[in-house]
A = this chain, B = another copy of it.
Amino acid sequence: MMEETLRGIVPPMITPLKDNETLDVEGLERLVEHILAGHVHGLFLLGTTGEAPDLNYNLRHELVKRVCKQVDGRVPVLVGITDTVFSESLNLAQTSVEAGVSAVVAAPPYYFTPGQPELIDYYSHLANRLPLPLYLYNMPSHTKVMIDPETVQKLSENDNIAGVKDSSANIVYFNKLRHLLRDRPDFSVLIGPEEALGNVVLMGAHGGVAGGANLFPQLFVDVYDAAVAGDVAQVMKLQERVMSVSEALYGVGRHMSSFIKGVKCSLAQMGICSDVMAEPLNHFCDDERALIHGRLLELGVELSVSSRQSPVDRVQSTESSRQ
């Protein structure tokens, strides 16, 4: 259970897969250690970046158990329980508490788009049934609804709701959230998009859920530390690096999943884990992989030769036959 207010960098981990039904277990172990080695402050499983809505439930539960066992209390683990089926959210929360997870995270249900009163009902009802603190997850690009700042404020009065992660990229919204919660320094307000991390932590936000921390965890911890220290010049310098990574790796594909595909493809190139995507999404094909490869080299990322003969690559070969 979360006893202190969550602060810092909490990477939303991608989910390494061998195929649609199977975790890439070795890749997963490497990835967790790779991320923790960057001194992050927590780990967030089964968010959007983790492709949670597309993973079958066995995989989701297995992932939670495996990662908690491996992390073994080194950092708090958070688990996304977003679902259209209410009881599946509760099931995953139960597995989570048994595995030693610190908190759960839920975006609004996403087929019947709820109104604000429905959101208040939903989150209140959910929080009251959960064995763990709940973080609200504002993700309008995927759920098609904003959790209004006033709705967050109202829900913050529920003792079992501990914070909010905002992935809207809307800075006015984010600042309104922070303003409305100014008397609640214990209620975490975390930003999603890594491209805005410096801007908001410098002004007092609690931290960020930076997807790029799958690749370069220390970079985002450095941004956070510099911002907390009020070292504007250093934040600006590191932010420039963050923007270069974003420009190089996240815009290769055309669709909503380009970010995840770019991160997974990069991790595969770095010899960490497979780039297999959960169906219905496909990983990048050869042209896009070559593009990512070149851009990683330009960014100065070391790509071990041995990785190209690793189990990861064998997975890729098998998978590519589907295409």
Contact = CB atoms under 8 A, between A and B. Distances in A.
Interface of A: 20-21, 48, 51, 53-57, 84-88, 109-115, 118, 121-122, 125-126, 142-144, 169-176, 178-180, 182, 193, 195-196, 198-200, 202-204, 230, 232-233, 235-236, 239-240, 243-244, 246-247, 254-257, 278-282
A56 B88 contact: yes
Contacts of A173: 169
Given A171-B199, A230-B232, 16 more contacts: A53-B112, A54-B84, A54-B111, A55-B85, A56-B86, A86-B278, A86-B279, A109-B280, A112-B281, A125-B279, A169-B170, A169-B173, A175-B243, A182-B240, A199-B199, A203-B232
12 contacts: A48-B111, A54-B111, A110-B110, A114-B280, A115-B254, A170-B171, A171-B195, A172-B193, A175-B239, A176-B243, A203-B235, A203-B236
Contacts of A118: 255, 280-282
Nearest to A281: B112
Contacts of A56: 85-88
Contacts of A239: 175, 203
